[in-house]
Structure 1
């Protein structure tokens, strides 16, 4: 197996980068809050540390994954956004979670960068987002990115039935 370097992506306002040890504390604070209810929270600090290691390991096992996101004008991670495809997933997913900056368009901006990376760098041709049916904020992000809800849901191994949102194919975005 070859070591995988996690690339850094930039948008107008954001940097998507590899996780670093300093990210664990804000990530753990998010997972200790009610804001994490749609993504498996609450989690204890040691569980978040393990989850961060899982995020890094996904890059090694799949050759792609999720990035920590920070604003260019303020250091420190504000979320985790990117690509995810565990073996029990229906197909590759672009997902987002922000613990700071909700309502400012950061989730969609970073998720678009991740989706562009999937299309243009990895050559993927299909992406979904699995979203809890009651997660209105994430649904707005998916709709804003042009994703459409499919009739068939997805049984998440931990969270139960999730709605599947299909992203437009690369050629539909040109």
Structure 2
């Protein structure tokens, strides 16, 4: 197995944000097969989960950035993903997040990771703006976006996933 190199690691209070490892696939596949993945195109088969995992990994190669895996600082267990993302067909660069492991939900980890990866996108990638695309019924992610200071900025219709709300992040110069 070849491990991608050159992916930065971001340490937060509870997480190590790192590149994906093959062992992370099982947690992601379980999440994507569950009803919990309904707001990001799931539930999907294991085969489609593998394609999604390849998309996550390949984004690092082709864009030079991607979502980070949220790893438990103590055990390195994969808990979810968050970070900069710009797949083909997206209206502009996005900051996304999802919690894969049920035991990681409700602990503020998505917020912690999203803040850290937004700072990375602004400081390291030089982004001047970012959006988050959030499904209309995903009230938890909408609340997280509001908590991060985001404001509604229209709707995006994706050819596969349908309608998503566009949430605009505050500009880097307005953040402390």
TM-score by length of 1: 0.94
Partner of 1:119: 122
Cα shift at 1:33:
0.8
The answer for the alignment partner of 1:46 in structure 2 is 47
Q: Deviations over 1:58-89 (max 9, x none)?
A: 11111111111112133310101111112311
In structure 1, list runs of 5 or more residues that go unmatched.
Answer: none
Aligned-partner SS, 2:77: strand
Q: Bigger CA drift: 114-123 or 75-84?
A: 75-84
2:69 equivalent to 1:68: yes
Matches within 5 A, 1:92-131: 92-100=93-101, 101-131=104-134
Displacement, 1:4? 6.6
TM-score of the two chains, using structure 2 as the length reference: 0.93
Cα distance in 2 for partners of 1:57, 1:71 equals 23
State how 1:135-174 maps to structure 2 within 5 Å. Answer: 135-150=138-153, 152-174=154-176
Q: 1:6 to 1:157 in 2, by over 3 A?
A: farther
The residue number in structure 1 matching 2:92 is 91
Query: How far apart in 2 are the matches of 1:112 and 1:138?
Result: 13
Report how many aligned residue pairs link the two structures.
Answer: 171
Report the Cα distance in structure 2 between the residues aligned to 1:78 and 1:19, rounded to whole angstroms.
11
Q: CA RMSD in A?
A: 1.3
Note the residue ranges of structure 2 that are not aligned, 5 or more in a row: none
